[in-house]
Amino acid sequence: SVVSRANSIGSTSASSVPNTDDEDSDYQQESYKDRRRRAHTQAEQKRRDAIKRGYDDLQTIVPTCQQQDFSIGSQKLSKAIVLQKTIDYIQFLHKEKKKQEEEVSTLRKDVTALKIMKVNYEQIVKAHRDNPHEGKDQVSDQVKFNVFQGIMDSLFQSFNASISVASFQELSACVFSWIEEHCKPQTLRDIVLGVLHQLKNQLY
């Protein structure tokens, strides 16, 4: 009640500065109930101090809780704001962590790919070291061109036969079906073999 509260506040301030004999004698004869009440009040104060320290610590630790408005100075934020900012900051950290984990995953894949490339290059270097004269008797540019021309001619024939350019839509459809039909690995292999065979016959 209002009265009991007023009394208790009075007794609190008086207990911090005990001065009269009256109060001393009161203290001596303090009932069990009063002692219990005082202990309880003290314990509650201790608990609230711990909570307060927690909020102070949060305000120190959480970057967004540190006052940036210099016109306000070092004014304390309300508890509700400290809590909200802390929640926001934790969510931000979670997102950062997720982003970094994804980055690590991507980098791990890159490392794997680079390791494979490294092994391949080492094999090439080794092969070259073991047989340094390999490739010296390379085919001429003219022969290379003839092979290329032969392959392209063959592809163009099939392309020309199956492609219609009536409309863009039709062209797209034809190109896709041409790729499916005439650019299969087996077909390309046959074309290349055919061209090489033909050139061989021409040369010899």
Partner DNA sequence: GGTCACAAGGGGTACACGAT
Partner DNA sequence: ATCGTGTACCCCTTGTGACC
Query: Is 19 or 140 the residue whose CB approaches DNA more closely?
Result: 19
Query: Is 9 or 111 the residue whose CB approaches DNA more closely?
Result: 9
Query: Is 65 or 195 the residue whose CB approaches DNA more closely?
Result: 65
Q: Name the helix (H) or strand (E) containing 97.
A: helix 79-130
The least distance separating DNA from the CB of residue 56, rounded to whole angstroms, comes to 10
Closest CA to 78 of 61, 59, 60, 91: 59
Which residues contribute to the site for DNA (CB under 7 A)?
1-2, 4-9, 12, 37-41, 43-48, 50, 52, 76-80
Provide the 10 A C-beta neighbour count for residue 82. 20
How big is the CA angle at 76 (ends 72 and 80), to the nearest 5 degrees? Answer: 120
Distance of alpha carbon 18 from alpha carbon 28, whole angstroms: 12
The least distance separating DNA from the CB of residue 95, rounded to whole angstroms, comes to 27
Query: Is 8 or 157 the residue whose CB approaches DNA more closely?
Result: 8
The least distance separating DNA from the CB of residue 77, rounded to whole angstroms, comes to 7
